[in-house]
């Protein structure tokens, strides 16, 4: 592995695994069941992702980047081959099992199913006298691998009877979510702008009346801005409600996973930002004095 890493101008990091993590009381193949390898958070592995020991809270057993994992009920950490999600002896320390380990979410860890996205701290390894075993190697190249380099890595892995996995260029779930959010905001602003324009055209007669009675530009701006802000708030609330309903329908069996990592700051910014942006747009675009006509417009 060191020779392969050297050829890629990279450094290999051993991946050791002393335990597994699963959700007790759920079928093994259930999509709601959390299973997977838990790697050892060695100083070398943590340094690879820029995580300092001071960032780890005292008494933490597990570090993870998986949103909502810390809130999953009946989660168990085992270092025994007799424990399984579908059954087995009770999860006790005497049976080499820890129920509800202390989990801390660390966004610096990598995503991906094969990456070390969930690790066990050296504190837990020492406390429970665990024996880590080598599970693989992590090699991070400074640049995307070529087809020749990927093939060479697979041939080397095949010679040693192991497998080699490379990260694809396909965007992960977080990137898809970010893109979908940005697209949704753009669409929301487009619909909002169209709605404000429609309302302004429908209220042109009222604006002429206000102008004729001596209403200032600031008054007209205030009316349009208030209308736009109300529409923006209504759109934000309805959109948020629709997202919550969709989440409930999609993941009704694992609500803690779906809503455990909900970014409340982003939600509040959206609920407050969309009406404010709509009000600002309405204020800026409503300063023109309406066209004056000499007769009643025909409907």
- Report the DSSP beta bridge partners of residue 63: 104, 119
> Mapping DSSP to helix (H, G, I), strand (E, B) and coil, where does residue 169 land?
coil
Give percent of the chain with pLDDT exceeding 90: 14
Question: What is the helix (H) or strand (E) element at residue 77, kind and residue range?
Answer: strand 75-78
- pLDDT at position 217 over 60: yes
Q: Is the pTM of this model over 0.75?
A: no
- pLDDT at position 294 over 50: no
Q: What is the pLDDT of residues 45-93, one digit of tens each?
A: 999 899 998 999 999 999 998 877 888 888 888 887 665 555 667 888 8
- The Cα 172–Cα 29 span in angstroms is 23
H-only helix segments in 91-216? 122-127, 147-159, 173-202, 204-212
How far, in Å, are 25, 164, 279, 286 from residue 218 at the CA level?
64, 67, 13, 9
- The Cα 299–Cα 297 span in angstroms is 6
Indicate the burial class of 71 (C-beta count within 10 angstroms; 0-12, 13-18, 19 or more).
Answer: middle
Q: Which are the contacts of 58, defined by CB distance < 8 A and separation ≥ 6? A: none
Instruction: Report pLDDT for 269.
Output: 76
């Amino acid at each position: 592995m060191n020779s392969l890493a050297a050829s890629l101008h990279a450094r290999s990091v051993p991946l050791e695994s002393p335990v597994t993590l699963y959700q007790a009381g759920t079928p093994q193949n259930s999509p709601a069941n959390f299973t997977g390898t838990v790697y050892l958070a060695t100083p070398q592995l943590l340094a690879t992702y820029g995580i300092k020991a001071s960032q780890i809270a005292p008494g933490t057993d597990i570090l993870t980047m998986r949103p909502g994992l810390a809130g999953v009920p009946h989660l168990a950490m085992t270092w025994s081959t007799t424990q399984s999600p579908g059954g087995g002896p009770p999860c006790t320390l005497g049976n080499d099992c820890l129920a509800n380990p202390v989990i801390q979410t660390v966004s610096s860890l990598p995503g991906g199913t094969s990456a070390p996205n969930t690790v066990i701290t050296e504190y837990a390894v020492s406390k429970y006298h665990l024996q880590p075993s080598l599970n693989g190697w992590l090699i991070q190249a400074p640049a995307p691998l070529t087809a020749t380099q990927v093939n060479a890595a697979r041939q080397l892995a095949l010679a040693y009877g192991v497998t080699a996995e490379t990260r694809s260029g396909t965007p992960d779930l977080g990137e898809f979510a970010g893109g979908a959010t940005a697209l949704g905001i753009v669409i929301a602003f487009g619909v909002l702008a169209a709605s404000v324009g429609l309302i302004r055209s429908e209220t042109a007669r009222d604006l002429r009346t206000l102008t004729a009675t001596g209403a200032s530009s600031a008054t007209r701006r205030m009316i349009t801005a208030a209308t736009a802000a109300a529409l923006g708030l209504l759109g934000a609330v309805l959109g948020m409600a629709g997202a919550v309903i969709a989440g409930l329908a999609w993941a009704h069996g694992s609500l803690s996973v779906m809503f455990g990592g909900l970014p409340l700051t982003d939600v509040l910014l959206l609920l407050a930002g969309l009406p404010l942006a709509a009000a600002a747009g309405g204020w800026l675009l409503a300063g023109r004095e309406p066209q004056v006509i000499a007769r009643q417009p025909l409907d």
